[in-house]
Amino acid sequence: MNVKRIWAIFIARNYEFFRDRAAFGWNFAFPFFIIIGFSFIFAEKHYQNFTVGVFPATGEEEMFLDTTIPSSFQLEEHLLFTPVKNREIGEDLLRRHKIDLLVEKNSPANNYWINDSSPNGFLVEKIFLVAFLPGKEQIAQRKLIEGEEIRYIDWFFPGLLGMNMMFSALWGVGYVVVRYRKNGALKRLKATPLTALEYLSAQTLSRIFLLMFTLFVVWHGADFIFDFHVQGSILLIFFLFFLGGLSLSSLGLILAARGTSEEFTSGVLNFITWPMMFLSEVWFSLEAAPDWLKSLSHALPLTHMLKAVRKVMNEGAALVEVQSECIFLLAFTAVALTIAARIFSWNE
């Protein structure tokens, strides 16, 4: 491999990216828009609570006036109460899972309604019934542990950065190389001493440089606004993102090795990126998912990158505790880059 030739392609690709102001700006703007939007959506803890409808009531001041509902239930911090005008409206809200439990105030029989297909309703029903038990504080001995709260925004932020990195790596490498092949740029490069491995290595290095540059700016900008809680080493977090960026870029090279149709490549990229986004725990955890789905998720590089980053960021893990994820990402990169170099074609 000739370092000078790799460096020349590396510089040329970077110049091309920075001169495209629309793409350059969007790589920074998109993560900020998402993180700001989610910070407003999840700013209120109501999203983490259960919702109880109380009827008949037209306003909050009427909900528990002269009611037989136990005060311990009314004061439960994880329950959000909402007034409901009458029973018919409440049943409709239950049917559509807008509320988790419906209770009737001033009812001698303490009437309540639940939706039998709602898991949340099942849990709120238990809380409601326990509130009527005498001496319920003696049922079991309560033990407390101390721990710092992990906000959803702290858990979600690595997923957002990983998602942005995934789209940028796959589209910035896979789609761009196919476009070069279609417009004849690769055919002209074939007449030079440049080898396929050198060209692909330069594309990978250029993309990882741009990914890390974007990551650095977005991370510090978002951290300045939202003050993220980082338990572990920031340097280790950036190292893990670096390994993840390499693996995702090498995956993009496999897609770019033979493609000649931008439309077909676009479809394949969408087919890969969207399932990966949902299976790699970008938006939500798969802790309760079936085992076969977890196994499928563990075959994806984005899953290992996010798992390792969250261990470091939210749990304070050290390098030795995420070494298995690092080994997977390095092995995936080596295998993918080798496959891409073997099947790469300049014009087919």
Tell me the domain boundaries of the chain. Answer: 3-42+151-343, 46-138
pTM, whole model, 2 decimals? Answer: 0.70
pLDDT for position 342: 84
Spans in the chain with pLDDT lower than 70: 1, 22-28, 32, 35-48, 66, 134-152, 259-260, 288, 348
First-to-last alpha carbon distance for the chain, in angstroms, is 23
Read off the tokens for 114.
Answer: 């639940």
CA torsion angle 130 49 97 155 (round to 10): -130
Read off the tokens for 39.
Answer: 């910070």
pLDDT for position 239: 94
Give residue 179's identity as a one-letter amino acid code: R
pLDDT for position 308: 92
Q: What are phi and psi of 120, to 5 degrees?
A: -65, -40
pLDDT for position 330: 93
pLDDT for position 47: 52
Q: Rounded to an integer, what distance in angstroms lies between the CA atom of residue 76 and that of residue 129?
A: 13
Top CATH class of 46-138 equals: alpha beta
Read off the tokens for 161.
Answer: 């950065």
Q: What are phi and psi of 268, to 5 degrees?
A: -65, -40
Cross-sheet strand order for the sheet of 112-113? 79-83, 50-55, 101-104, 112-113
Q: Rounded to an integer, what distance in angstroms lies between the CA atom of residue 285 and that of residue 118?
A: 20
pLDDT for position 327: 94
pLDDT for position 168: 83
Q: Rounded to an integer, what distance in angstroms lies between the CA atom of residue 218 and that of residue 163?
A: 13
pLDDT for position 240: 93
pLDDT for position 130: 83
